[in-house]
Amino acid sequence: MLPFRKKIVTDESMRPVAVLIDYEDWQKIEQLLEASQVLEKEEFNISKYAGVIKLTEDPLQYQQQMRDEW
């Protein structure tokens, strides 16, 4: 975890309600989050699963069969 200077704002009951950080720290956090989201999008590609499962019967017929058993 990166060391960020922060100030915790509390209400009258001393419950935390907000956190104040320097703008430069906020920009660093934004950059890290953006980079993380880009990596997640690149890593998850659903097309690599296409054709992996070989079905022996029609999926809709199987679904109807399962529902008829209820």
61-67 long-range contacts (CB < 8 A, ≥24 apart) are none
Pairing of strands 6-10, 16-21: antiparallel
Query: What is the residue extent of each domain of the chain?
Result: 1-43
11-55 confidence digits (pLDDT tens): 999 999 999 999 999 999 899 888 887 766 666 677 888 888 888
Residue 18 · residue 9 · CB < 8 Å: yes
pLDDT band (50, 70, 90) for residue 58: very high
